A and B are shown apart, each in its own frame.
Chain A
């Protein structure tokens, strides 16, 4: 009769796999777009010209050699937590508890540093720290895993809650071990004896962390892609029923993988306490457990690409921090910019997985 009820203007269809260069072109495009929007926002807030904003971001990250080291250290720590949560993600097990697992690892390390000096030589303290923090992280992830494996308890929500239990536990010990009394803070542990402090390589304070994380990264890449365990993880992630059918013990794989996930998180906590900060606060992990989820997802759970994505996020937040200082804004400005960039990249995934098909213009009869 009339053309009022024509077909919808467009509809969405799933795409066959895109070649890798187009995938990355789309992601790159989204990033550029995001940077433009960020610059606009910054210009709006500060009244500076956008180019100068970029210069500031760049300087904030690479301005001095100290800044470069801090940048690399932050990348390393974020990467470490991201690597930790990745095996679980590959198994489609949403471990959002990286924050708590790292924190509890840090707590274990700090406990050794505070309680053991005088009883053990320095090297033994460091060994104890390493063992106990890795164990603590593993246990913290193991608890939700146990329930997930046995009763299929929702791991996303469980691990999320475990974060706050860990935070409160650390807050508790921060008061118990406070120094000086009444401050509510632990302060630098063993400032004079430096017991439990990780050795420094040459004059580079952060080099040890970076090397350790680099080693973990390579190991994780090999583990996930070439080992039998890695293969089991992939099978369980894709189809639990298939896994069971070929005789993979799904419960065991879930628990084992979560233990590994927690152990690496514990390692991150160890490095933060033993090597970077020499103290413990409830906020020492600084939301990395959550940022790691994004890092890992953005990199499609690939440890090598995660170097890139964690670098990107740290670079942006350091840069935004610089803008904040430079234009005397508040430090949280960085979070806003990070958020905006994440929105763009998250949104861009759609154009990689789907395509929009436009109908021929309405009214054209054949």
Chain B
């Protein structure tokens, strides 16, 4: 019998980093910026949080550790780090109008390198014999779930809905807010116009560059949170180089899968998370290899969605029309 009660919460915690990453990338893409640097940004977000909490934990061992401060410091570091990456991307692609694919890939190279370099340096600094940094107090602060009666916490309802750290709920709130803003508010309308047709938006008096900057930077910050959630909550505060893996790309896949709708992303990310860990739940006997095939599932599903949407050719389901193109007002 398939154990849904234990499977779903694990799929959810797997999905949250993807949800944050894809919400961030959706906002970015809605402004017409295809930020392929998201994997790098998530690395930077994660490592900045790790650096912040590492030094806080070092200076406040034991009882001196304040959970609230312990949360705020890595959070701020993470936000600043990923914001800077977003700004860099914007400066190059919006202000200097560089090719977005190339810039994004360069950001990913840089970001992953940055994460692994400082990760490696901290590991050396901590003098640990393991190739990882362990930030248990911070992680505990991040993972603290609602104070529930044991009965409720033990029930299926508690396990499915109430067992997560606060960042998970924030991720869902961010995604739903983003969906609301995009479809119902003037800011969202303007942002969509910028991504569809910057020319038109410009003529309508919308500051195209400002929207691109704002959406991309905000998107980066949200994606960076995904990195932070991964380390602090999912991985229980353990940073190991390259452990984050290909989740950044998976987040980009998720954007396509949800056809640029962050509210769909909430459930879709859990689905992706589920597909990612499915191999642990499907009895494969001694065949270890097959789990690598299962890991392929999210990508294959994304490809299928990409193909179906392009075949149906419904205008509302297409990528923003100016995705990947730099905007220059006086282009003739």
Interface, chain A (partner B; CB < 8 A): 12-14, 94, 96, 147, 151-154, 156-158, 160-165, 167-169, 171-176, 184, 287, 290-291, 293-294, 297-298, 329-330, 332-336, 338-340, 342-343, 346-347, 349-350, 353-354
B93-111 contact mask (Cβ, 8 Å, vs A): 1 or 0 = 0011111011101111111
Nearest residue, chain B, Cβ from A295: B102
Complex contact B295–A168 (CB within 8 A): yes
Q: Give 11 new A-B contacts, CB below 8 A, not counting A336-B110, A338-B113.
A: A14-B331, A153-B306, A154-B310, A175-B288, A329-B117, A330-B116, A330-B119, A342-B109, A346-B96, A346-B106, A350-B97
- Taking the closest CB of chain A, its distance from the CB of B247, in whole angstroms, is 11
Of residues B102, B124, B241, B310, which shows the largest number of chain A Cβ atoms within 10 Å of its Cβ? B102
Nearest residue, chain B, Cβ from A297: B102
A173 vs B330: C-alpha distance when bound (angstroms): 53
Interface, chain B (partner A; CB < 8 A): 34, 36, 88, 91-92, 95-99, 101-103, 105-117, 119-121, 124, 241, 246, 249-250, 252-253, 256, 288-290, 292-293, 295-296, 299-300, 302-303, 306-307, 310-311, 313, 319, 324, 328, 330-332
Complex contact B92–A346 (CB within 8 A): yes
Kindly list chain B residues whose C-beta atoms are within 8 Å of the C-beta of A287: 109
Nearest residue, chain B, Cβ from A350: B96
Known A160-B252, A334-B113, A338-B113: A350·B98 in contact at CB below 8 Å: yes
Would you list 25 pairs from A and B whose C-beta atoms are within 8 A, ordered by A residue?
A151-B310, A153-B307, A153-B311, A156-B324, A158-B303, A160-B252, A161-B299, A162-B303, A164-B250, A168-B292, A171-B292, A172-B293, A175-B292, A184-B288, A297-B101, A330-B119, A330-B124, A332-B113, A333-B113, A335-B109, A335-B113, A339-B109, A342-B102, A343-B106, A353-B97
- Taking the closest CB of chain B, its distance from the CB of A284, in whole angstroms, is 15
Chain A facing B: main interface SS: helix
Q: Which of A164, A176, A294, A349 interacts with B106 by CB under 8 Å?
A: A294
Q: Which of A12, A153, A330, A339 interacts with B110 by CB under 8 Å?
A: A339
Kindly list chain A residues whose C-beta atoms are within 8 Å of the C-beta of B241: 330, 332
Complex contact A332–B117 (CB within 8 A): yes
- Taking the closest CB of chain A, its distance from the CB of B303, in whole angstroms, is 5
10 residue pairs, one from A and one from B, having the closest CB atoms: A335-B113, A339-B110, A330-B120, A175-B289, A332-B116, A350-B96, A342-B106, A168-B296, A153-B310, A172-B292
A294 vs B115: C-alpha distance when bound (angstroms): 21
Kindly list chain A residues whose C-beta atoms are within 8 Å of the C-beta of B98: 346-347, 349-350
Kindly list chain B residues whose C-beta atoms are within 8 Å of the C-beta of A291: 105, 109
A261 vs B39: C-alpha distance when bound (angstroms): 25
- Taking the closest CB of chain A, its distance from the CB of B103, in whole angstroms, is 6
Complex contact A338–B300 (CB within 8 A): no
Known A154-B310, A161-B299: A340·B116 in contact at CB below 8 Å: no
Of residues A14, A94, A164, A333, which shows the largest number of chain B Cβ atoms within 10 Å of its Cβ? A164
Complex contact B99–A339 (CB within 8 A): no
Kindly list chain A residues whose C-beta atoms are within 8 Å of the C-beta of B106: 294, 339, 342-343, 346
- Taking the closest CB of chain A, its distance from the CB of B300, in whole angstroms, is 6
Kindly list chain A residues whose C-beta atoms are within 8 Å of the C-beta of B296: 164-165, 168-169
Kindly list chain A residues whose C-beta atoms are within 8 Å of the C-beta of B332: 14
Complex contact A164–B246 (CB within 8 A): yes
Kindly list chain B residues whose C-beta atoms are within 8 Å of the C-beta of A167: 246
Complex contact B99–A152 (CB within 8 A): no
A172 vs B293: C-alpha distance when bound (angstroms): 6
Nearest residue, chain A, Cβ from B114: A336
A117 vs B311: C-alpha distance when bound (angstroms): 44
Nearest residue, chain A, Cβ from B295: A168
Complex contact A14–B307 (CB within 8 A): no
Complex contact B101–A293 (CB within 8 A): yes
Kindly list chain A residues whose C-beta atoms are within 8 Å of the C-beta of B253: 157, 160-161, 164
Kindly list chain A residues whose C-beta atoms are within 8 Å of the C-beta of B114: 332, 335-336, 339
- Taking the closest CB of chain B, its distance from the CB of A130, in whole angstroms, is 26
Of residues A14, A96, A151, A287, which shows the largest number of chain B Cβ atoms within 10 Å of its Cβ? A151
Kindly list chain A residues whose C-beta atoms are within 8 Å of the C-beta of B331: 14
Kindly list chain A residues whose C-beta atoms are within 8 Å of the C-beta of B292: 168-169, 171-172, 174-175
Q: Which of A14, A94, A161 interacts with B328 by CB under 8 Å?
A: A14
Complex contact B310–A147 (CB within 8 A): yes
Known A94-B101, A151-B310: A156·B34 in contact at CB below 8 Å: yes
A264 vs B201: C-alpha distance when bound (angstroms): 42
Q: Which of B97, B99, B110, B121 interacts with A354 by CB under 8 Å?
A: B97
